[in-house]
Homo-oligomer: A and B are copies of this chain.
Amino acid sequence: MTHPLRVAVLGATGRMGAQTCAALEAADGLELVARVGRGEDVGAAVRAARADVAVDFTVPAATEANVHAVLDAGAHAVVGTTGWDDDSRRRVAEHLGRLNAARGVAEPDLGVLIAPNFGLSAVLAMTFAARAARYFESAEVVELHHPDKVDAPSGTARHTAAAIARARAEAGLGPMPDATEAGIEARGADVDGVRVHAVRLRGLVAHEEILFGNVGEQLVIRQDSFDRVSFMPGVLLAVREVGSRPGLTVGLENVLDLS
């Protein structure tokens, strides 16, 4: 890269936004060129700063409009805000299609990366679990979190279990063996036929363990997120990669090189 990538942060005063600003300032080859706070005109700010990429850590109510404004300002977008659904994602994909068709030959196509999770260990655990699933007779998921969490099981655990179920179905595997007759309430939640257990323990943050079993062997993939700061390597990776992925990409795993 001959010159540093110019990066704007939307939601710069929030917890994740502030951490992203700090991470950008410490990173090689990346330059923080705008901290955009609540109420500012996103498109104007991105244009004024001549940003190549904008990172959105704002709020569900603002994130879609922000992304459209970033694209109209000619920048790529990396999105960590929650609240996206099929409709909002489709609208962004269509916007990208129109813009990229109209861009000149000298301009690179625009890209948007929406990532529900920037934790490398979490994303890798989920990806490896999906790939391993077809090779094992049994698979279960245990997620462990601090006891102040209000929902169970965690979204990450649900996604992991759904991906395992999908991989098993594609490989033609049937239901897992389970002779339980009494005490089914100890067997966790059923997510697409995969059992998911939620542990709540003071002292923990966010952890996931995926267990696979065959006769005579076990494979366990475990990931621990001790601190929100662990998301920064994933955010920086996304910022660096988004420019080479035209169109809409959902999930950090799609910018990882796992071949």
Which A residues have a C-beta under 8 Å from some C-beta of B?
119-122, 124-125, 128, 131-132, 134-140, 142, 144, 147-153, 176-189, 195-205, 211-230, 232-233, 237, 256-259
- Which residues of chain B are near A215, meaning CB under 8 Å? 202-203, 227, 229-230, 232-233
Interchain CB contact under 8 A, A180 and B149: yes
Q: Known contacts A151-B181, A221-B128, A226-B216: does B121 contact A201 (CB below 8 Å)? A: no
Contacts A203-B214, A218-B222 known; list 17 others, CB within 8 Å: A120-B135, A121-B212, A135-B237, A135-B256, A138-B203, A139-B201, A140-B199, A151-B180, A179-B200, A186-B189, A186-B197, A201-B213, A203-B217, A203-B224, A215-B232, A216-B226, A216-B230
Q: Known contacts A128-B128, A150-B182, A180-B152: does B227 contact A201 (CB below 8 Å)? A: no
Once bound together, how far apart are the Cα atoms of A227 and B202, in whole Å? 13
Which residue on chain B has the smallest CB distance to residue A120? B135
List 6 contacting pairs A-B, 8 Å CB cutoff, sorted by A.
A120-B219, A148-B177, A177-B202, A185-B189, A203-B216, A217-B223
Once bound together, how far apart are the Cα atoms of A132 and B148, in whole Å? 23
Once bound together, how far apart are the Cα atoms of A119 and B178, in whole Å? 23
Interchain CB contact under 8 A, A176 and B198: no
Which one, B136, B179, B227, contacts A120 given CB within 8 A?
B136
Once bound together, how far apart are the Cα atoms of A225 and B185, in whole Å? 24
- Which residues of chain B are near A147, meaning CB under 8 Å? 138, 176-179
- Which residues of chain B are near A211, meaning CB under 8 Å? 144, 199, 201
Measured CB to CB, the closest approach of chain B to A199, in angstroms, equals 5
Which residue on chain B has the smallest CB distance to residue A180? B152
Once bound together, how far apart are the Cα atoms of A131 and B17, in whole Å? 29
Which residue on chain B has the smallest CB distance to residue A229? B216
Which one, B182, B218, B223, contacts A218 given CB within 8 A?
B223
Interchain CB contact under 8 A, B203 and A150: no
Which residue on chain B has the smallest CB distance to residue A199? B140
